[in-house]
Chains A and B, each alone.
Chain A
Amino acid sequence: MLPVLLTILVIIMLLGGLLAVEHKSLLIGVISAGLVSLTASIIYVILAAPDVAMTEAAIGSGLSTVMFLYVLRRIKGDSNA
């Protein structure tokens, strides 16, 4: 059961990663990157690392995304890869 779940999560994570680098819109790129972190934190839970999971969720998908968004907001009208 767990391996299947893990595989699914990994696939989501990788798709999110591809989206993050390849999608035309920077905004969606940033949010996808946040999604990758979020998936990763679930993966950490499965891998018996709750501390890491919490950190990744709070920092990787939370704060880091906020920072990206702050910077994006300063840079307007520009979203091509």
Chain B
Amino acid sequence: MINPIYIVAIGLGTAFSLGLLRKLGKEFSFWVTIFALGAMAFISGHWLSAFLSHQITSTVITTAGGKAPFVIVFNMGMTEALFSFMVTMGAVFSGFYLHDRLIESGPSAMAVLLAGTMGLNGIILTGDIFNLFVFMEISAIATAGLVLLVSDFKALQAGFKFMLASGIISGLLLLGIIFLYNSTGTLNISELHSKAGVILKSGGVATYLITIALLLELKPFPANGWGVDLYEGAPSGVSAFIASSSATAAFFVFLKVLPLGGDISLRIAAAAGISTFVFSNLMALSYKNTSRLLGYSSIGQLGLLVGIAGLSKHLGDKTLMIILTLLGTHYLAKAGLFWLSGIVKNPNTDEWRSLRKSPVLFAFFGVFIFALLGFPPFPSFFGKWELIMGLVATKMYWWAGAILLGTMFEGIYLFRWFSRALKLQNNDTATPAVTIYSILPVVFFGFFLFYAGYYTSTFVPALRVMCLAPLLFILLLGLLDFLPAFLKNIISLAGVTAYIVYLWPHIQGNTFKIVFAGIFLGGAILALIAGFYRRGKHMGFYPMTMLMFLGLGILVDASNLLELFYGWELMTIGSYFLLIRGERSLPHGLSYLLFSLGGSLAMLFGFALAHASSGSVDLSALNHIRIMPALAYSLMLAGFMTKTASLGLHIWLPGAHGEAVADIHFMASAILLKAGVFGIILVLGGMGNTQPYAQKILFVLGWIGALTALIGNIGAAFQESAKYLLAWSSIGQLGYIVFGLASMTHLGWLAAYGYTITHFLYKGILFLLIGGVAFRVGTADMYKMGGLIKRMPFSFFAVLIAIITLAGIPPLVGFTGKWLVYNMILSKHLFYQGVVIIISGVIAFLYLFRLIHVIFLGQLKDRNRKVKEVYVWLLIPAYLMLTAIFALSMFPDMMLARLGRMLTPSFPEGALVWDGFTASSRYGTFNLQIIMAVIGATFAAVFLWLVFANRKAQKVKQFNIFYSGEAPSRPELTHYGYNFFAHYRKAVGFMATPLVTRFWDQLSQGLHGLSSYGRAIYTGNAQSYLYHIVAFVVVVYLLSAGGIS
């Protein structure tokens, strides 16, 4: 093995020699620098690979030919090698990225970079505590120097603050070191570790000073103003270096020294770290400067790591894995984002839209953001999972809660930033300054993030390989994104089919899974068939669609909670990108994402409680949670209900769905929402209805379901846009499902399953076709349509049937669901809820009637005279579903009897009794075939009579109407379909006015207010930052004085 001293020797030797190489030109010096950094990285990388292949064990390398505690030693172990490698690679790429600036500033600046990197390596490798101090000073002074690679005032004052702050901090460190030496007689860190007894007796305060100084280096809240300003003021390449390399080294040494202080240090670390995580992210909410945001985020992430280190006793041997995954993700993603910020140049978050001009970089922007927030497949996903599981298992609920809260804050500003960059108009921005030097590091770190995610997952036994395979497929699609849409469509179809073939043996015989696999993957096939109508390339569409569908597939396939969560999160990412594709969907897509994030964090906590109760992550852990079951089940339900858009969590849906185009609307509404149902069924199945808390939850859930149905239907009634109407209607329909499930009866569940399947079918038809119509007409506003029956007879017929089903009118299968729900209401005596359900059923008629009447009947508008029938590619899946509706209507037992058989073990009471095609419950019987025959005959008779009676009807022109002699100024507003239910809005509009929206708005304003209030700390004044540092030292000491021996 190569002596790690050479890392120091190469770094310094090259740094010193650069002065002599001046004559050979700056480019030459630059490449010498990069080469030297590479050589340094090679040494630690070489060690790392040897450690990973278990060829060697940790080694101590002495210097000066002396014996271990008396001379300075270097420790080389697995973690040292890894951290050193990370630090140096960060320097290699940041150095490469800084090419232009380094050339501008000359070899001296390169020497500073080399010296700084050498210093960071020394921090990691050295086994001597004073030597550590020296290396920390080297890297501090080098950092200050690198900040000066830009010569504006911002950098200048940031560097000055940093130097002052680190001056005080390192003074405290030195004081601690010498007193620790005085009491223990050694400076060797390993020896110090073995002298816990002595330290306890006479080194407590000294250790406190050392710990607090190293903690201050990591910029804890609120003593971190200088740190934020440093991130903001430094050139982006240097910020990347600080956030990745420097922070990594500083954290490593903190980790190394923390155990010296015993329990009290751990407690300090936990409290300071986690509060830094929460408050930094809260503070970030009110800023728009990206460097500053990234600074807060970096500080927050490091705070989280410090907190985890402080909680290491509770996390046990998982600690290292959690730390490495979170740190690794932070390291890669934060460096990437800082590099990107240098490419974008303008520090305003909204200006990142200009990055869309180079799609590859923008894709990596997304990768970095999602990675930071712990989405799969990135390493942080697994770290976050293990972290929350571990904390909850050891009853550290508040810590876990605080971490989730901080993650939520972080999500708010990161996602806001990303979404706005993704959607804002982008015509007036400058093209980002892309050079090979700026792009290469980003791309490399971006890809490595994926690899790191894969690598981490190989250590997670709970995740089967089949959960990773879909990602490869998606990666392939991403690489083939240049192909025309129809080719990608074919590939996607092949992919889904392959997945179905894989999945089938796993779910065979499990009706529950078959139902949902049918909806998710069968739906995927239908949606992809519809997708053939697409022309052009549709960049980014297919990978994201597949991400959603395969995420849903994994959800069904999941054999444990981790896989469930994994699939859920993949699906969330994919669906977000689909929903935000709409023209005006920016705010809705964003709120979808934020609700999803909040929901998944809530679920995560719930899963952790389940895991803590049973000790396993199997799906069976959901059964009878013992630890805080009410909280656990409520959180999980709330999490899943973000996707079903239940009351209170529904505000994202209308906008997100209403703005989506036909097939995406189909995917989002008919398919995606069912993921929430899937989860609710799992949770309720585990919870049961016997426990008192379960009954309370179910009671609330039932009301939520009923009210959601009402709100959804009322909301739908007031819409002018057919798409918004359908979106609101979906909320209502999902309300029925939740209501049915909450009853915990055979009939209720049967109804819920029935609704789940039929909603998929009829809403599928409606979304595809109404979407198709809207596409042809050029608007989704219904009053701009009318009379389209003549132009689009096929669409009309399918929509008509779908609406009949939806309204629950006999004879079609929709009626079954209604009949079951009413039976259930009677059997459970849920009369109040029953009233609400019935009222919402009536309201549903109001808007459904409108849908068919206003769009297809009446006069054809002039400008619509030439419109063509909806794309055949949309009609094919619609008619397939239509066939299914007829089949199910004709043979309801095909579906219901089978579902009933599945439900009977869980709900033996109140099952339907089947006699041929006749089903009976306690309150009556029904036989859909007879009903169908009767209704069919009646309908035919009436229809024939109408045809006969209308044979003399006269055709009129569209505007052949009178308005008391006045010519209407905007004739289209005289359309009878316009603002049809205005009078209702007057009466009951208050229910539809978004009370809920206001609640979330106020919450968000409150948070931002809090955040702005906190800005008072960050005055920008170097002196007040010094105050904070000193005050931090004193206050933390006083708070923990009892514990410091």
Chains A and B touch each other in the complex, with CB atoms below 8 Å apart:
no
